[in-house]
């Protein structure tokens, strides 16, 4: 999560302006709704104190945010790795679950080596 106040101020400014150049530079999590948005989301902008900014969508997912259904912060960027795509699908299938780094690891394993998944030792 981005904690530098100067960055937060700047990113919030870009968020309010729906600055498309900042697509992929940051993501915003709205604390009051638990939703993750891209800078250009058409939804009403939250107050700054309700925003958390992230440099990657993965970080935001780990902080329990869910992708916004309007701006689809994870769906329409081509930069997304297969692991993240799988994670998004898994999150959408299990919306109540808390996701962790271990889940990312497992998904990464199953994304790259589907056959090794059954022998996966979950320590």
Binding region for Zn ion (CB under 5 A): 37, 41, 43, 68, 70-71
Among residues 2 and 41, whose Cβ is nearest to Zn ion? 41
* DSSP helix/strand/coil, 117: helix
Quick check: is 71 catalytic? no
Residues 6+ apart with CB under 8 A from 113: none
CB of 49 to Zn ion, least distance (A): 18
What DSSP element (H or E) covers 106?
helix 101-112
Among residues 68 and 87, whose Cβ is nearest to Zn ion? 68
CB of 42 to Zn ion, least distance (A): 7
65 in Cβ contact with 88 (< 8 Å): no
- CA–CA distance, 92 with 107 (Å, rounded to integer): 14
53 in Cβ contact with 26 (< 8 Å): yes
Among residues 37 and 84, whose Cβ is nearest to Zn ion? 37
Q: Which residue is nearest to Zn ion (CB)?
A: 68
CB of 117 to Zn ion, least distance (A): 32
What residues act catalytically?
37
């Amino acid at each position: 999560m981005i904690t530098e106040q100067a960055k937060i101020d700047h990113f919030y400014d870009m968020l309010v302006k729906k600055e498309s150049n900042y697509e992929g530079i940051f993501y915003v999590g709205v604390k009051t709704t638990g939703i993750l948005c891209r800078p250009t989301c058409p939804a009403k902008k939250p107050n700054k104190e309700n925003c958390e900014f992230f440099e990657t969508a993965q970080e935001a997912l780990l902080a329990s945010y869910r992708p916004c259904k309007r701006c689809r912060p994870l769906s329409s960027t081509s930069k997304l790795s297969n692991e993240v795509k799988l994670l998004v699908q898994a999150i959408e299938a299990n919306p109540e679950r808390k996701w962790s780094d271990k889940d990312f690891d497992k998904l990464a394993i199953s994304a790259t080596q589907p056959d090794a998944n059954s022998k996966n030792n979950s320590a």
